[in-house]
Amino acid sequence: MTSANTRPTTIEAEGTEPYTVPLAPGVSAYIQPDGGWCLNNAGFVTDGERTLLVDTAATERRAKLLREAVVASGAPLPTTVVNTHHHGDHTYGNCVFTPRATVVGHADCRRETLAAGLQLHLAWPEVDYGHIEVTPPTLTYTDELTVHIGDTEVRLLHPGPAHTVGDTIVHLPGRGVVFTGDLIFNGGTPFIMMGSLSGSLSALATLRALDASVVVPGHGRVTDPSVYDTVERYLRYVEDLARTSHAAGRTPLEAARDADLGEFAALRESERLVANLHRAYAELDGLPLGAPLDLLTVLGDMMTMNGGRPIACHA
């Protein structure tokens, strides 16, 4: 499973072009630098006869590049696509792989994909997405589902509300690899606006228990379990900031504007702090995990934190 477009896991690819990383026999990650807004990762598992794809991409063009990378590796076109959650950067490209492929995801991922519709078009109407048809999972599960690709066991695990309400962890226990979806950002700010702070901390415990040595985050370079510590420190920082600011009667925006990010200032998309505080406040107010927030307010606060500029989509 190698090609001229592969990179070793220990070397950062130069430039901004997507690249594949062989991780284990029949297992590859597909990385889209630099992992900012709408530049997600994907991956694929193959036995030479069947291929399972983990997530797609935000535009038709990017999804077709992903398809070309799968074929260039020597793998057949996917017959299964697993969505780690419903966000458009991970699901818009589903339509490029269907009807040949069956789309699999958590039951809430299907529900949220249908409810969100052309979600990225609404957020970033100026982007050329190409021809996109909303294509939700047609095979769903609630707690755990196992798929076998040859002798590779692919476990799909739902950690509960975390990044979203319908997240899926894709664990390959025999290969020591885990695809985390957006439960993990490597080099980017975690984002829990549509999920849960406490649930995200719980999801980290689930990921650690899997004991996978290779971690493919939803955004950013392939890494190792040390990334869990960085994400947990950030979430604990949000938790502490939310608790003190909420008790003082400060709004999430006020708290975010005055916050000292410290070590987390180096993470991309720091404007997500205010969205994460909105979610933390909702939990402090006793709302159910994953309860919908006022998106116009949250997105407006993020734009304020971004210097009054609209958040840039990099797709």
- Write out pLDDT tens, residues 131-177: 999 999 999 999 999 999 999 999 999 999 999 999 999 999 999 99
The span from the CA of 285 to the CA of 279, in Å, is: 10
Positive/negative CA dihedral, 210, 163, 170, 139: positive
Q: What would you measure as the largest C-alpha separation in the chain, in angstroms? A: 60
Which among 142, 154, 145, 177 has a CA at the least distance from the CA of 50? 154
Say which residues have a Cβ less than 8 Å from residue 57's Cβ, sequence separation at least 6.
Answer: 32, 40, 42, 63, 65, 66, 89, 90, 92, 93, 315
Q: Given this model, what pLDDT does residue 7 score?
A: 33
pTM for the complete prediction? 0.94
Closest CA to 41 of 3, 69, 14: 69
> Prior bond to 34 cis, omega within 30?
yes
**Cβ–Cβ < 8 Å for 274, 253:** yes
- The answer to whether residues 156 and 178 touch, using CB atoms and an 8 Å cutoff, is no
Q: What string of pLDDT tens digits covers the 315 residues of the chain?
A: 333 333 333 334 446 899 999 999 999 999 999 999 999 999 999 999 999 999 999 999 999 999 999 999 999 999 999 999 999 999 999 999 999 999 999 999 999 999 999 999 999 999 999 999 999 999 999 999 999 999 999 999 999 999 999 999 999 999 999 999 999 999 999 999 999 999 999 999 999 999 999 999 999 999 999 999 999 999 999 999 999 999 999 999 999 999 999 999 999 999 999 999 999 999 999 999 999 999 999 999 999 999 999 999 999
What is the spatial distance between Cα 283 and Cα 111, in angstroms, rounded to a whole number?
22
pLDDT at 16: 86
3-state secondary structure the chain: CCCCCECCCCCCCCCCCCEEEEEECCEEEEECCCCCCCCCCEEEEECCCCEEEECCCCCHHHHHHHHHHHHHCCCCCCCEEECCCCCHHHHCCHHHHCCCCEEEEEHHHHHHHHHHCCHHHHHCCCCCCCCCCCCCCCEEECCEEEEEECCEEEEEECCCCCCCCCCCEEEECCCCEEEEEEEEECCECCCCCCCCHHHHHHHHHHHHHHCCCEEEEEECCCECCHHHHHHHHHHHHHHHHHHHHHHCCCCHHHHHHHCCCHHHHHCECCCHHHHHHHHHHHHHCCCCCCCCCCHHHHHHHHHHHCCCCCCCCCC
